Amino acid sequence: MDIISQLQEQLNEMAMVAVNTFGTLQRDAPPVRLSNSYPDPLNPTTANPSPDDPAQPQPQPGAAAVAGKGAPAQAQPAPAAPPALDLAEHPKAMSHALVLAAKKFDALVSALPLSSEEDQLKRIKELQAENEIVGSELQKQLEAAELELKQVEALFNEATDHCINLKKPD
């Protein structure tokens, strides 16, 4: 695989890691209150509670649904909690993956061959000359193929004429 293809793949990997990192941060970030003067969007019934007040009961995710059914809380088995993610370490790990991908990209860029504008122009002229040679060879092969096609068509027409002339009328 050439260096340009490797660079393209590495750039795609960096973009994927970045999108996953930002999406995960958006998904897992805890809600933050802008100010104590604004009502709590998660609990609108309380009037300006302090976020550090331990007297305020924290709402349980399944408590309202269980209480609304009229069944005692003990009758319903508690749903198995998903394994707790370490929200402090997860962004660090994803950031580390993004930095590693960027370093790999930088290494690939530094591996690119350096050449001057004169060297590039010389290489372009060489490639154009090679292209002209290959193009002329292809043109010769095309002309030879067209000639052979005409010969085959002529032989086919001659063979069909002979077959038609040999057929006896009804």
Q: What's the pLDDT tens digit per position in 41-99?
A: 667 665 554 555 444 445 544 444 444 444 444 555 555 655 555 666 777 888 888 89
- pLDDT confidence of residue 112: 84
Q: Give the torsion sign (CA, 97, 95, 32, 87).
A: positive
- pLDDT confidence of residue 140: 97
pLDDT digits (tens, 9 = 90+) for 97-113: 889 999 999 998 888 88
Q: What is the arithmetic mean of pLDDT over 13-18?
A: 92
- Residue 124 — pLDDT band, cuts 50, 70, 90? very high
Contact 43, 59 (CB under 8 A): yes
Instruction: Classify residue 110 by burial, with Cβ atoms within 10 Å: 0-12, 13-18, 19+.
Output: exposed
Pairwise pLDDT comparison (76 vs 124), residue with the higher score:
124
The mean of the pLDDT values for the chain is 78
166, pLDDT greater than 90: no
**Tokens coding 133:** 């040679």
